[in-house]
Amino acid sequence: QLVLTQSPSASASLGASVKLTCTLSSGHSSYAIAWHQQQPEKGPRFLMKLNSDGSHSKGDGIPDRFSGSSSGAERSLTISSLQSEDEADYYCQTWDTGIRVFGGGTKLTVL
């Protein structure tokens, strides 16, 4: 079964960096994922598509502060130089034929 696992919460200080992780279920470590950001009271926004080799393609207007990396079944989103507007929920998402799957989301608090 295709499942994505995320930590429920994370926090980091203004100006610092934070790494959010999404783990693919067993047998699915070669799958690509996408990261989406949802700021409070807003709809989701596509951030990037992240492949198993760590290559990624970002959405239009996504700052260079957002980057992705991969290691085995883990897919990570790193946000550097944290800003207040980065405080949001972050969801990873993957896919297979006829199915799309979201992780449970990570709530990022900027201290």
User: Tell me, what amino acid is at 53?
Assistant: D
- Nearest-5° Cα angle at 74, 71 to 78: 85
Least Å distance between CB 101 and another protein? 7
Binders of another protein in range 56-75 (CB under 8 A): 57, 59
Residue type, 86: D
Residue from 2, 10, 25, 45 in contact with another protein (CB under 8 A): 45
Asked if 43 is part of the footprint of another protein (rule: CB under 8 A), the reply reads yes
Tell me how crowded residue 107 is: count the other CB atoms within 10 A of its CB.
15
What span, in angstroms and rounded, lies between the C-alpha atoms of 95 and 3? 10
10 contacts another protein (rule: CB under 8 A): no
> In this structure, how many other beta carbons lie within 10 angstroms of the beta carbon of residue 41?
5
| Residue 24 interacts with another protein (CB under 8 A): yes or no | no
Q: Which one of 22, 24, 36, 79 is in contact with another protein (CB under 8 A)?
A: 36
What residue ranges bind another protein (CB under 8 A)? Answer: 32-34, 36, 38, 43-46, 49, 57, 59, 89, 91, 93-95, 98-105
